[in-house]
Chain A
């Protein structure tokens, strides 16, 4: 059925690119995309790895200079510090701009856009937000290194990759968490030293957001108990100078490392399970157990169904996904196959209102535009204007994934204005009447087709197609 093609293109993928055909069987076409997925396309592998970006941060010595600028008594000194800080801001901003361009470029050109959508989904599940200046330059590398290579593995691998990435360790303060009874604390006399102590931030978000889910199978005591075996996990070469010296953790500068000297000793009991003392190995066991926990299965099943199918997804679909996750122990390709094969996923009614990111990407793909013309920051500026800045949801919870989050009057106005701009770029080469049936096969209504056909100019016709109800939803 034609409408199945539209569903495969828009609900599962990032939207049609005219001229790129869909295979006869839309389900096979989607599953084939998983085989063809490129974890490191050229645009992304050309960017510097997180290790280099972290080291650049260290060289710029942001933290030290910030402290210095606060302490500076003379204006000249403060001015130098301010200049250095501005230099740092510009350098990380440049990295961010390049990473956003790469993310967008890959999304606009991809012929495996179902897999690309999964990347975006998981990046938002393990969300970072660049409100924190330390990770502005690193946010892209997190998605490219921790998410992309692991979307087709086991959920535990994805969780491990996220947890062990320097950007995550910096964003949720794990890099500063030190066991109060760790060898290091004992050496320096922990109780009196304000630099040494437990930071629960990452432990909490792993339980609440990444695995079990909010208000599920854990308590505050579990959060604190989980934060203890996580101590030791930090970023090489980036800690405070004194601690660096004491633990000699310069071994792998810029990479996630486990430093035994920072680790809180002792046996643990987390969510009802006992763990023997064992440093990094014990932590890995805890992470694996959390990844396979029944609450995690339920949480992931619901989020996936909500993202792809409906804000309030069918209970039967969530149950199928949950059962599959439990059966395979979190094998992600099996989970995606379950989603693609479920009849609930193919109801013609469009229940999802596209997010600004989804709408913008699908609009540009529809017009075969592969880059935003204008200044270097054009892509960054576009998503800021649309109300969904890339990697900046404001909290580790990520962007909301329902119509209530995106279907507002101001957001709709921005889309209409932006559609007008995009239409100008393509009006001389694209006929909106033909494009409509090509990108929304079987789902473009006669009424919308009529409005497009009656537009007073080709440009207006294109803009109307991009803001049509059928194109705003998927």
Chain B
């Protein structure tokens, strides 16, 4: 059981929670661990896993293509972002697999709707109240331990009939989030600034773009999650929310910071989970990708397909890049601007979870992704 004394049970204002990386855990009677790291704000798949072997890449990406050459070359087509050094090592050790040109069924470009569909796997945004992670819990053997009862909102992916708890740690090494909280207090009595600030924090929290320092919390977040999952009584399923992906402006530095955070998070999970790492699956995914072309502010705008990543000590398809590459020449782009999706996110997750838990894929699809078309 998780040590309750380490957790803050109440007193976390809504605003501060929206600004702090959040974790949600669930206990289930299996020794397998599953962690979903959601990248809120539309992570740029072409920046994460750069198709440097595509002849159209360099010209479409301009300056943003330049630093892709510094990353680890994974095969003739792709290099990994230079900040993801630990992930590159894991890939060589067959403990990482990458998926490209992947997307959920969502084809619009709203963060809020896109994230909701990624998490609920329904047929339309807000069409379902339960998330696919909660439906996964219902499929796993019931454990003795109840879910934790803590005080904050549960992300849509974990919502549903199976009892799940979520909480935010009392103090993350994240000065920015703390500053945001103080600013709210500072403006409380100011008739002009108070509503502006409320609006600013709500909007950016929704888009996931508020937390440029999220990356720096990677090690601390990894340690915390591992400490809550490593023990025999620990949580079996967790969700980590990350922000800073909505890189409309000056993408290079921002994306690097955010990816470094994920890279450190994953590597810390590996070291801190120890022997449990062999039984752990980590999924990193985002609601949609970003435009192929760079915009006027050295950033990219909302797009369609992106990249997703799997990590784990016992990964079934470790050391592989799975992609039906659609190409980046103008005629091959989705709506003339985005990377075309050639793989469904839901299929990838079904295959990965099926291998991880040893559950028949069709059974898993019916229970966890009931709205997703029959694979047979």
Contacts and interface: CB of A to CB of B under 8 A. Distances in A.
Interface string A432-471: 0000000000000001100100011101100110011100
Interface string B170-205: 000001101110110111011011001101110110
Nearest to B193: A469
A412 interface: yes
Contacts of B212: 417
B210 interface: yes
A407 B200 CA distance: 11
A454 to B, nearest CB: 8
A407 B176 contact: no
Contacts of A409: 196-197, 199-200, 203
A408 interface: yes
Interface of A: 353, 381, 384-385, 403, 407-410, 412-413, 416-417, 419-420, 447-448, 451, 455-457, 459-460, 463-464, 467-469, 472
B297 interface: yes
A418 B196 CA distance: 17
Contacts of B297: 384
A223 to B, nearest CB: 32
B200 A469 contact: no
Of the four ranges (under 10, 10 to 19, 20 to 34, 35 or more), the interface on chain B belongs to: 20 to 34
13 contacts: A353-B192, A410-B203, A413-B204, A420-B175, A420-B176, A420-B179, A460-B179, A464-B179, A468-B186, A469-B186, A469-B187, A469-B193, A472-B193
A448 B190 CA distance: 11
A464 B182 contact: yes
Nearest to B199: A409
B178 A413 contact: no
Given A409-B200, A467-B183, A460 B178 contact: yes
Contacts of A451: 182, 185-186
A409 B197 CA distance: 6
A412 B201 CA distance: 10
Interface in B280-302: 297
Interface of B: 175-176, 178-180, 182-183, 185-187, 189-190, 192-193, 196-197, 199-201, 203-204, 210, 212, 249-250, 297
B203 A456 contact: no
Contacts of A353: 192
Q: 4 tightest CB-CB pairs across the interface, nearest first? A: A409-B200, A409-B199, A413-B200, A469-B190
Contact of A385 (B178, B210, B250): B250
Contact of A416 (B180, B185, B190, B203): B180
A281 B178 CA distance: 65
A135 B204 CA distance: 35
A70 B190 CA distance: 56
Contacts of B204: 410, 413
Contacts of A410: 200, 203-204
A403 B193 CA distance: 11
B176 A384 contact: no
Contacts of B183: 416, 464, 467
Contacts of A384: 249-250, 297
Contacts of A457: 175
Given A407-B196, A412-B200, 13 more contacts: A384-B297, A409-B200, A410-B200, A417-B176, A419-B179, A420-B179, A447-B189, A456-B182, A460-B175, A463-B179, A464-B179, A469-B190, A469-B193
A416 B182 CA distance: 11
B303 to A, nearest CB: 21
A413 B210 contact: yes
A463 B180 CA distance: 10
Nearest to A403: B192
A456 B176 CA distance: 12
Contacts of A463: 179
A55 B147 CA distance: 74
A193 to B, nearest CB: 36
Contacts of A420: 175-176, 179
Contacts of B203: 409-410
B181 to A, nearest CB: 10
Contact of A459 (B175, B199, B210): B175
A448 B196 contact: no
Nearest to B201: A413
A417 B200 CA distance: 12
Contacts of A472: 193
B186 A464 contact: yes
B300 to A, nearest CB: 16
A419 B175 CA distance: 12
Nearest to A452: B186
A255 B134 CA distance: 72
A416 B185 CA distance: 13
Contacts of A408: 196
A467 B197 CA distance: 11
Contacts of B199: 409
Contacts of A416: 179-180, 183
A412 B197 CA distance: 7
Contacts of B178: 456, 460
B67 to A, nearest CB: 13
